[in-house]
Structure 1
Amino acid sequence: MPEPKSRFDETFPCDFYTPAELFEPDLLYTIPEIARMLQGLEPDAEVDDDTEAVLIDWAVPWVMVHSDELVIAEPLSEEGPGYYGVAPEAVEATDESDRAGETDGANGASPGVDGADGDQ
């Protein structure tokens, strides 16, 4: 049932990483690993089954929304999970936008990336 915002002490922006911000360019990850990383955890962090189910509920739509920035690899075994990674062109686009922003601001410093500190 919907709740009035006034019942909550605080609300937060719903800001997620992009694949280029989240993934190492030369690694592939499973959905459970992605789910942990979206919460600022290490990919191999121990979480209980109920928490993992909730995290995966967030990760699956994130993968779908960012599918044009991802690559996928077949499972390593017939029963194994699929693996996802950042597409090379997504990394290149991020690098190009970072270079373009390097001269923004009075001191010429590169602007920070919102949400890249794990506060998701």
Structure 2
Amino acid sequence: MPVPKAEFETIHPATFYEPADLLEPDQMYTVYEIARLLQELDPDAEIDQETEAILLDWAIPWIMVHADDLVVAEPRADDEPGYYGLATE
């Protein structure tokens, strides 16, 4: 249900990182690492599963919106996620 803006103490602009501003060109990242980076956390930061699920809600659409600027690598093992990196070509 919509909520009036007046109910919020602070409202921030919806600005998001561009891939080149977030990712190192010579590195590949999991969606979990990207989710942390989007929140200005270390890619290896320990967070609880509930928080991680919320961060993924932001990261997955970000990846899809910026798909033209990214490359994808298959998981190295069946129990690993895929990896995303900055397209350099």
- The interval holding the TM-score normalised by the smaller chain is over 0.9
Tell me the equivalent position of 2:72. Answer: 72
* Offset at residue 70 of structure 1 (A): 0.2
Structure 1's consecutive aligned runs of 4 or more residues displaced over 6 angstroms after TM superposition are none
Q: Which amino acid aligns with 2:47?
A: V
Q: 2:31 is aligned with what amino acid?
A: I
Matching of residue 81 in structure 1 with residue 81 in structure 2: yes
The residue that corresponds to 1:5 in the other structure is 5
Match in the other structure for 1:38:
38
How many residue pairs get matched? 89
Distance of 2:47 and 2:61 partners within structure 1 = 20
**Offset from partner CA, 1:55-107 (integer Å, 9 cap, x none):** 00110000000000000001001232100001003xxxxxxxxxxxxxxxxxx
SS of alignment partner, residue 52 of structure 2: helix
CA deviation after TM superposition for structure 1 residue 9, in Å = 1.0
What is the match of residue 59 of structure 1?
59
Does the residue aligned with 2:6 lie in a helix, a strand or coil? helix
Counterpart check, 1:27 vs 2:37: no
Matched residue type, 2:54: V
TM-score of the superposition, structure 2-length normalised? 0.97
Percentage of pairs with the same residue: 60
CA distance in 1, matches of 2:72, 2:85: 6
CA RMSD of aligned residues (A): 0.7
- CA-to-aligned-CA distance 1:9-54 (integer Å, 9 cap, x gap): 1100111111100001000000010000000001000101100000
Provide the secondary structure at the position in 1 that maps to 2:29: coil
Distance 2:47 2:78 in 1: 25
Q: Which segments of 5 or more consecutive residues in structure 1 lack a partner in the other structure?
A: 90-120
The within-5 A match list for 1:82-97 is 82-89=82-89
Higher strand share: 2
